[in-house]
C-alpha cells in the first residue's frame, strides 16, 4: 500500500522536475495537472497488469477447486481500487496546498472512478484470458502501456493541436477520464452530459467485451493453466 502511494508521487516529482520549464509554463496548476494524469494512469496500469496474471498465479486453486475464475480478476481490481483511494487522499492534499477551491461538485469524481473500475475489470478479463493461451501478451502489453503514457497527455496539453487532433485524443478512454478530473478539479467545471455518456460508453463496452471473451473461453482455461 505504501509503495502504491509512493510510486505515483515519485513519478510526479520526476515529471514536474523535467517538464515544468519545458511544457508546463502556460498550464495553470501544473502540479495538479500532472498528478491528475499520473493518478488515473497508475490506477489503470496497476489494475490491468495485476488482473492479467490473476488466473495463472492462482492456477493451483483453479485446477483443484471449482470456483468462479472471474473472482480473481475482481479481487485484483478491489486491491487496486483501495490503493487508488489512498493515493486520492494525497491528491486532495496537493490540491489544498495548490490553493484549489473545493466545491460540492467534486463529489462527481466518483463517476469517472466507477467507470474506470468497470473498464479495468473488462480489460482485466480480456488480458487474463489471453495470457493463459499466449504468455507473450505481458511483453506486448508493456509496450502498449508505454505508448499509452505518451498518448494520454499526462505531462503536456493538447491545446496547441488542431481541433481534429484534439478529438482524436477522445478515442483513448484513459485520457477521457484524466480530462474529466482536470476539468472538474482545475477548471471548476462540470463536464457535459455527452461527455458523461462517453465515459459510460467506454466503461460498459470494455466490460461487456471482457465478459464475452471470458465466457467464450471459460471452460478451456483449466486445461492450459
Contact between residue 32 and residue 98 where contact means Cβ atoms under 8 Å apart: yes
Q: Residue 152 sits in which domain range?
A: 2-224
- What pLDDT is attached to residue 21? 65
d(CA 70, CA 83): 20
- What pLDDT is attached to residue 155? 86
- What pLDDT is attached to residue 16? 74
Residue count of the chain = 225
- Percent helix, strand and coil across the chain, each rounded to 5? 80, 0, 20
d(CA 87, CA 83): 6
- What pLDDT is attached to residue 62? 87
Q: What is the pTM of this model?
A: 0.91
Provide the number of structural domains found in the chain.
Answer: 1
Profile the chain (225 residues) by mean pLDDT over runs of 10 residues. Answer: 75 75 75 93 95 91 87 95 93 92 94 97 96 94 95 90 94 97 96 97 98 94 83
Contact between residue 181 and residue 36 where contact means Cβ atoms under 8 Å apart: yes
With 0-12 / 13-18 / 19 or more C-beta atoms within 10 angstroms meaning exposed / middle / buried, residue 98 is: middle
Amino acid at each position: 500500500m505504501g509503495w502504491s502511494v509512493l510510486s505515483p508521487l515519485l513519478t510526479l516529482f520526476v515529471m514536474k522536475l523535467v517538464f515544468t520549464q519545458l511544457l508546463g509554463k502556460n498550464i495553470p496548476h501544473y502540479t495538479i495537472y500532472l498528478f491528475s494524469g499520473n493518478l488515473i494512469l497508475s490506477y489503470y496500469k496497476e489494475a490491468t497488469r495485476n488482473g492479467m496474471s490473476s488466473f495463472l498465479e492462482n492456477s493451483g486453486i483453479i485446477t483443484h477447486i471449482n470456483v468462479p475464475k472471474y473472482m480473481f480478476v475482481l479481487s485484483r481490481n478491489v486491491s487496486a481500487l483501495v490503493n487508488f483511494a489512498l493515493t486520492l487522499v494525497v491528491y486532495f492534499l496537493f490540491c489544498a496546498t495548490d490553493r484549489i477551491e473545493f466545491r460540492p461538485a467534486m463529489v462527481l469524481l466518483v463517476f469517472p472512478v466507477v467507470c474506470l473500475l468497470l473498464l479495468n475489470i473488462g480489460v482485466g478479463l480480456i488480458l487474463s484470458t489471453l495470457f493463459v493461451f499466449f504468455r507473450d501478451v505481458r511483453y506486448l502489453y508493456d509496450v502498449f502501456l508505454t505508448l499509452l503514457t505518451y498518448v494520454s497527455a499526462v505531462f503536456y496539453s493538447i491545446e496547441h493541436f488542431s481541433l481534429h487532433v484534439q478529438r482524436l485524443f477522445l478515442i483513448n478512454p484513459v485520457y477521457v477520464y484524466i480530462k474529466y478530473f482536470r476539468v472538474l478539479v482545475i477548471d471548476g467545471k462540470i463536464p457535459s452530459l455527452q461527455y458523461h455518456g462517453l465515459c459510460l460508453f467506454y466503461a460498459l463496452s470494455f466490460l461487456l467485451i471482457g465478459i464475452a471473451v471470458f465466457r467464450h473461453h471459460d471452460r478451456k482455461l483449466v486445461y492450459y493453466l
